[in-house]
Amino acid sequence: MKLLSREPLTDEQWAVLREGPQLVILAVSSAGGTRLDSLLERAAGQRAVAAGANNDHPLVRAIGTRHEIEAALAAVERRTKDERGAIRSHEELVRLTVEQLQRAMAILREVGGELDLYGYREFIMGVARKVAEAAREDDIFGLGGQQVSDAERDVIKAIAHALSS
């Protein structure tokens, strides 16, 4: 079975797939914690996306290239900032992410196969987990707290639901 690559996709379809991981990073990292937590989580998310360049699936490999990461970051930044340049609310980021992932899965069902759906789903869930696990929530100088907060679990659950619908 041949795996889906970038070539047969329209630019619009590609943008939907490519921007999904970046929205996941923002949605999970906005679930709470300090600014430092958010920075650590976003950095972990970017590393997880870049690690996609070593994935077995050609679509995920393409998403993980430097050029595509930079293009996705720029597009997502435009979509997630309000008129004042501030990042949108957590609820709005989660809504945007869920909608994007639902569109991505529809595209993959239309032009790809089961292995493409599986590969993308696993990649996205891996990014979400890396972000959530990057910083302990509610800790005091690194002591105590939770590895993954309830709010982050809720976002990951919404992401998983979007990927299965």
Query: Domains of the chain: which residue ranges?
Result: 11-164
Average pLDDT, stretch 154-164?
A: 97
Using CB atoms within 10 Å of the CB of residue 93, give its burial: 0 to 12 exposed, 13 to 18 middle, 19+ buried.
Answer: buried
- Locate 112 and state its tokens: 């790809």
Residue 48, C-beta contacts closer than 8 angstroms, at least 6 positions apart: 21, 126, 127, 130, 131
Confidence (pLDDT) at 104: 98
This prediction's pTM? 0.92
Q: Is the pLDDT of residue 112 over 90?
A: yes
Q: How does pLDDT run across 5-54, given as a tens digit for each residue?
A: 999 999 999 999 999 999 999 999 999 878 888 999 999 999 999 999 99
Average pLDDT, stretch 109-114?
A: 96
Confidence (pLDDT) at 117: 97
Rounded Cα distance, 143 and 100, in Å: 36
Rounded Cα distance, 102 and 106, in Å: 6
Average pLDDT, stretch 125-136?
A: 91
